[in-house]
Structure 1
Amino acid sequence: MNLLDSLKSMLGVRKRRDEPDRADNDGAPSEAEMQSALLTLQQMLRPAVFGEIGGERPEKDNRAMSWWGGNFLGAEGETVPVCQTSGRPLHPLLQIRLDELPEALPAFSGIALVTIWIDLGDIPLHDAENGRGFAIRTYRAIAGLVPIGPGYRESSALPTFPVLWRASALEQPSWDDIAFELPDRVARSNRDEWFFESRYAKEIGKHRQTCPVKLGGWPTWIQGENRPADSAFCLQIDSTDKGRLYVGDAGSVYLFRTPTGWSLRSDFY
C-alpha cells in the first residue's frame, strides 16, 4: 500500500476503482497533490467536546455545574448584564464548568467557569462584540461564586437544563477553512469523497444530531466563513427545539476569542 492509500485508510475513505494515480488530461489532481491534501487535513484536526441539553435528572440546587437557560453563578456584587445596544437585561444561555469536560481545550486555558448571556430579542446576532447583544463572563475559580439571575425554571424565556458533556472527537475543518490550504487542482476537483466522506466528518455528524453545544474543534459554517480577524474559535451553539433557541432558519452562533476580547458570529439558512 502506498502512502496515499495509507492516508486514505486512516481517514476512512475508500479508493474508487476508476480513480487515477496521476493527474490526467482533465486536470485531475496527481497522487502527490492528493497526498498533500490528506496530510493537510490530518494536520488541521482539532479536538471537540459535545454537550447534550438534559438527559438526566437535574440537581436543581447545584449551580456549580454546566447549565442551559439559567441557574448561573457569578462573582459577589455582579448583577445580570445589560445589553449596551438595546438596554435590555440579557438572559442566561449557557454556563460551562470546564473541569467537567472529558479533555482540556486550549481556548479555555486558565478558566474554571464561563457564563454566556444573550439578548433573546436580538437573535440572530450577526457581527456582535462582547456587551452588545451578548455578554461573556469568565472565572478562574468556582470558590466564592454566588447565584446570579433566574434559578431553576424561574424564567419561561428558555427552559433550564443541565448540560452533559457526552463525547469528544477530532474534528476536521469546514471546506471554507481548508480550501485555500489545498493544492489548486484538489480544491477544484469534483473528487471530494476524501473530505466529505472521511471518518472524522461522519463521527462529528453523528454527535451533532443529539448535541447542540460544541466546544473546540472548528466552526461548522452554513453560508460561508465569517471569522473575526486574529481570533481563536471557542464554541458553537446550534438551533435547538429542546432548548428553544432558534438562530434564523436552523442556524448556529459561534464564539471567538480575540486579542481584545470576545466576538460572536451567526450563520443560518
Structure 2
Amino acid sequence: MTALATEPATRTRAVSPYRLSFGHLLRSEWIKVTSVRSTWWSLGVTAALSIAISMMIAAASSSFGTGFPAVSAILSPTQFTMLVAGILGAIVITGEYSTGMIRSTLTAEPRRGAVVVAKAVVVAALMAVVTVLTYAIAIVATAPLLTEGIDWSEPSLSLVPLAYGVLSMVAFTLIGLGFGFIVRNGAGAIATTVGVLFVLPIVVSMFAMAGEGWRWIVDLGQYLPMNAASTLTAPGGDDLLPALLALAGWTLIPLLIGWGVLRTRDA
C-alpha cells in the first residue's frame, strides 16, 4: 500500500518532460519575486529606515566626538534593517508554499537544486542593488549634517566597509531564505530568522556579566551573523577573515540544509 501511494510522485519526478534553462528559471524567479507587493514593501521599509536612521545619527554625530567615523552613520542602521532583509528572504519562499505555487515551480523545473540557486541569485541581486542605492542616497542626505565627510581617499575607511555592508545585507536575506526552505512556514521561518539575527546576540551578550567561566560563550558570539557583520563593517578593521568565514557559513549552511529538505520532502 505504501509503495502504491509513493509511486506516482516518484514517477512524476523521473519522467517530467519539463525542464527550463537556467536563464529562463532566473527570469521566472525574478518575475515571481518582483510581482509580489510584500517584496516592495520590505525593500521600501529597509531603505526608508536606513536613510532616516543614518540622517539622525549624522545629525547627532557632533556629540559623539571627533573620532566618530562618517561612514558609520551610513552603516549603523544595519542592526535594524537586517531584520527586514531576513524576513524578506523568508517570505519569498514561504509565500510559495502557502499559495501552492511551489508545486508549479517544481513541475516546470524538477531540478530542485537549480530552484534553490535561482531563487538565491535573484533575491541576492535584488537586495544588493537596493542596498547600494540606499547607501548612495544616505551618503548624499547625510553629507550636510556631518562635521567631517567620508574620506574616499582611504578605502579601508570608506569603500571597504560599505562593500561589506552590502555583502552583509545580502547574507541576512539569504539566511532568511534558507530558513524559509527548511521550515516552509511563514511565521516559523520569520521567528527562526529573527531569533538568529537579533535575539541570539542579545542572549550571548548577557553572559559577559557571568564571569570568566562563561567567557567562551561571549567569544563564540562574535561569530553570530550580526556580530560578524559588525566586525566586517567597522572602518579600518583588520583580521576580517574569521568574521567573513562565519558570515559565509551562516549563509550557506541553511541554504544547503534547505536544499536537502526540498530534495527529500514533497512540496
Flag whether TM exceeds 0.5 (same fold): no
TM-score, scaled to structure 1? 0.30
When you count helix as a share of all residues, which structure comes out higher?
2
TM-score, scaled to structure 2? 0.30
